Amino acid sequence: MKKFCLIIFLAIPFHSFSQEWIKEFGHYTNDGILLVSNETYDRGILLNGYYINYLNRATGWIVKTDVNGETLWEKKVGLKEYGTHVYGTDTTSGGGLIICGCTTQFDEAGDPFTMKLNSCGEKEWCNIYKTPENFDWANEIHPVKDGGYICLMSFYEDQFNKRVWLFKLDQEGNTVWSNFYHRDTNYFSEQASDMIITSDSGYLISAQNYTEVVPGSGLYWPSPFWIKVDTSGNEEWECTWHQSDFLTGRFEKTIESKSDFYIGVGNNGFNPPSNMCIYKLYKTGDPYMRHDLLTNYYAGGVTTINFLQDSTLVLGGGYATCADSNFASMLITDTTGTMLHQFILPTTDGYAPNGTCITHDNKILVTNLEVIHHPTVHFVTYLYKFNSELEYDSIYTVPYQYDTLCPHPIVSDTIELDCWPVNVEDPVEGAASYALSVAPNPARSSVTVVIPETFTYIEKTNGFTITKTRLLKDQEITLNIYSPMGTKVKEVPIPACGQPFTIDVSAWSAGMYFFSLQTRTNVIGTAKVIVSGR
């Protein structure tokens, strides 16, 4: 096994000399995969992931360390008899944790789960979202301003049909609404990798899809893909990246600048050679620029991005100079991609960093993996801490008090997933009522009907109310018109959604008529229209 120097707590809390700030996590005979998630309220460091137990099953794993990376406590999530992965954690306003991931407790293929822990690391609630025979998971989860949570989930309907979902949860974990985002006919196999809460309280999902870049060619290539969603879960825009000098690329994460841009990272090129690159989008979803970093290497890609200052970025990535020479790298650039500092991580396998975050005092925390080959082949995770010039940080000797919001010491233990099962496939119970736009009303000779672009419907799932929004262009809809006695007067074929159309009512008897806009299973809009006659 590769040896590292033990860090001795003799340094003053300022940068007085250079040293290595590296911590190792993992088991000598089992895979241990962690990524750094957050700095906690008490200046601790939060990591999440999983390790492989002695039954060759994954066990969810949450680790909290002190400011110097020394473990304070750890929580195992799920029992050893079934598989559990923790993919996302975030801190809550009360000092607790919100967690998401995947478990095989009900289905060997895997179901998403969400969980809330209090400030003592004790479970308050959890949900498992049952998706029979599909490999599905929750990517990440974050608190939102109203005290609830937003969770990004990935659902598979079959091996070529991936779906991107958002779930809005209240403080108790009940589903307020959920929505999946529709596929355009020009792409397939969309898969989300990241989500941020935007300055307008909406959500930006980073993803990739397979797009026929050259129409009619029959060749579909992975392409960077973004979905912007408003605070209610309605899609505002989509953007798939296309440029004349760009064929294919993978995509990882996005951040929001204080100006007019979203900045994302990934690579340019699916097969070698490929370059680490930065993408910039206007906040309207229109592409602005792409900048390739460390060009002319065998293969490369950027996996993490954070703001260090308003004008500087911290990037984590990897690249190779040939097929068997890989490097894991940390970069500091300006927002155009101009290189300011670089540090090659001291790992032998060159796995790109899988997690980064910036601390309250502008230090950089980084995690990445390495394969250890003796005595058995397994993963370990290394945690690094750098200053703003990518030099190893100093060790802090000033004492900190940790977990002060908990009245007793937090112990390391196992948290069972005895969760509320949420069946996301429950049938639709009814449609949200809204007034269909029909004018004039009363009418004598004709009325004009406006069909909305979207409709909202309600599901009842285990006592929870789930509200979803769908595009009407994807539905088979009709407008049925009934007399006061319930007799169907007319069935009107629906033109393109959002386009007003006119109905001649001049021959109708005077009286009230009921207009009902319907899918095959739901009434989604109604109106009462009075025809006054001649």
pLDDT per residue as tens digits for the range 202-246: 999 999 888 877 777 777 888 889 999 999 898 899 998 876 556
Cα 208 to Cα 198: distance, rounded to the nearest angstrom: 19
Question: Is 403 in a helix, a strand, or coil?
Answer: coil
Task: Taking residues 190-201, report their average pLDDT.
Answer: 93
Tell me which of 421 and 367 has the higher pLDDT. Answer: 367
Rounded to the nearest 5°, which phi and psi values hold at 472? -70, -25
pTM (predicted TM-score): 0.76
Rounded to the nearest 5°, which phi and psi values hold at 483? -80, 170
Q: pLDDT category, 511, cuts 50, 70, 90?
A: confident
Which pLDDT belongs to residue 456?
A: 65
Torsion over CA of 264, 269, 274 and 278, rounded to 10 degrees? -20
CB 27 within 8 A of CB 12: no
Q: pLDDT category, 422, cuts 50, 70, 90?
A: confident
Task: Taking residues 306-334, report their average pLDDT.
Answer: 89
Residue 53 has a CB neighbour count (10 Å cut-off) of: 19
In the chain, CATH 2.60.40 sits at 426-531
Tell me which of 219 and 309 has the higher pLDDT. Answer: 309
Which pLDDT belongs to residue 526?
A: 79
Q: Is the pLDDT of residue 137 over 80?
A: yes
CB 422 within 8 A of CB 129: yes
Task: Taking residues 314-323, report their average pLDDT.
Answer: 84
Q: Which residues share a beta bridge with 147?
A: none
Which pLDDT belongs to residue 9?
A: 30
CB 10 within 8 A of CB 18: no
What one-character-per-residue DSSP string does 275-314 give?
Answer: EEEEEEEETTS-EEEEEEES-S-SEEEEEEEEEEETTEEE
**Residues 6 or more apart in contact with residue 128 via CB below 8 angstroms:** 103, 105, 106, 111, 112, 113, 417, 419, 420, 421, 422
Options 1.10.150, 2.60.40, 2.40.10, 1.20.1250; CATH for 426-531 is 2.60.40
List pLDDT tens digits, range 75-106.
Answer: 999 988 889 999 999 999 999 999 999 999 88
Query: Which range has the worst mean pLDDT, 1-10, 252-261, 353-362, 493-502?
Result: 1-10
CB 206 within 8 A of CB 193: yes
Residue 286 burial by CB count (10 A; 0-12/13-18/19+): exposed, middle or buried? exposed
Cα 32 to Cα 52: distance, rounded to the nearest angstrom: 7
- CA dist 55 to 52, 83, 416, Å? 8, 10, 17
Q: Which residue, chain included where needed, has tokens 């993803």?
A: 207
CB 301 within 8 A of CB 252: yes
Q: What angle do CA 33, 87, 190 make, to 5 degrees?
A: 115
Whether the bond between 273 and the residue before it is cis, its omega within 30 degrees of 0, is yes
Task: Taking residues 306-314, report their average pLDDT.
Answer: 94
Query: Which range has the worst mean pLDDT, 37-51, 119-133, 393-407?
Result: 119-133
